[in-house]
Amino acid sequence: MRFHIITIFPEMFDSYLKESILGRAIASKAILVKFYNPMSFCKTKERVDGRPYGGGPGMVLRPELFLKAFSKIKIKGRASKDGARHDFAKSKTKIILFSTSGKKFTTEYAKQSAKKYTDIILISGRYEGIDARVQKILKAEEISIGDYVLTGGELPAMILIDSISRQIPGVLGKYESLEEERVSTSEVYTRPEVLKYKNKNYKVPKVLLSGNHRLIDEWKKKTKEI
């Protein structure tokens, strides 16, 4: 899986992508993450944003700079002659732009994306957003990660990379590690068996120590429903 990120703040991804499971996935080439910065196409003393037509607060990211960044994306096996949209349409490529009014991102969406696509392009906005013509020209699908507003699209991009990547075979240590593929609960325990804290003993539920997988699965189902 190859992720292509269009953002004016690529450095925000450095720490998150270097650590733990994603870091290992990148090192093993199970996933590839590339960045394209619209600011690279700004002329000297030129701004990446401008005042919104019609008035309103904040600044809007300029469309031509994002389109230039997009034109630099090369999809393996689909050489682009002019950066035209149809080159991406023919390949197993998904173009996503983050928007508070977009389709809600879910685990099922992550599963389908991992199965259907080889390349995912994530367009991350800032300030008051990206000029709407970018979404219209690229026919990007608008995606929201929740009913709240963030300062930019970088965090949503990280969430999609994380969620989709864990659906790719080989990224997680074991297939059973997929939370949605096993009987699971948010109530989990490890050593010590008895935790002493402020003169009280907090014990691991006996059923988890029983070795009886049927009873353990029943317990997990009950705690998951609560």
**pLDDT, tens digit (0-9, with 9 covering 90-100), for 152-182:** 999 999 999 999 999 998 898 765 466 565 6
Cα–Cα distances (Å) from 179 to 1, 2, 21, 47, 175, in that order, read 21, 23, 15, 44, 9
CB burial readout 18-53, b (16+ within 10 A) else e: eeeebeebbeeebbebeebbbeebeeeeeebbeeee
Look at residue 170 in the predicted model and tell me its pLDDT: 86
The token duo for 1 is 């899986």
Residues 54-76: tens digit of each pLDDT: 888 889 999 999 999 999 999 87
The token duo for 89 is 């349409």
Domain extent listing, the chain: 2-175, 183-225
Look at residue 59 in the predicted model and tell me its pLDDT: 92
| Host H or E run for residue 6 | strand 2-6
Look at residue 29 in the predicted model and tell me its pLDDT: 95
Answer left, alpha or beta for residue 196, where phi above 0 means left and psi between -120 and 50 means alpha: beta
Could you tell me which residue, 205 or 53, shows the higher pLDDT? 205
Per this entry, what is the length of the chain? Answer: 226
Percent of the chain scored above 90 by pLDDT?
A: 73
Residue 18 has pLDDT above 90, yes or no: yes
The token duo for 32 is 């590839």
Can you point out the beta strands (E) in 83-177? Answer: 93-104, 119-123, 141-144
| Alpha helices (H) along 9-101 | 14-18, 20-27, 63-71, 85-90
CA 212/CA 214 separation, integer angstroms:
6
What does DSSP say about strands 200-203 and 141-144: parallel, antiparallel, or unpaired?
A: unpaired
Residues 17, 119, 173, CA angle at the centre, nearest 5°?
Answer: 50
Q: Which residue has the tokens 């969620």?
A: 163
Looking at the structure, give the CATH architecture of the domain made up of residues 2-175: 3-Layer(aba) Sandwich (3.40)
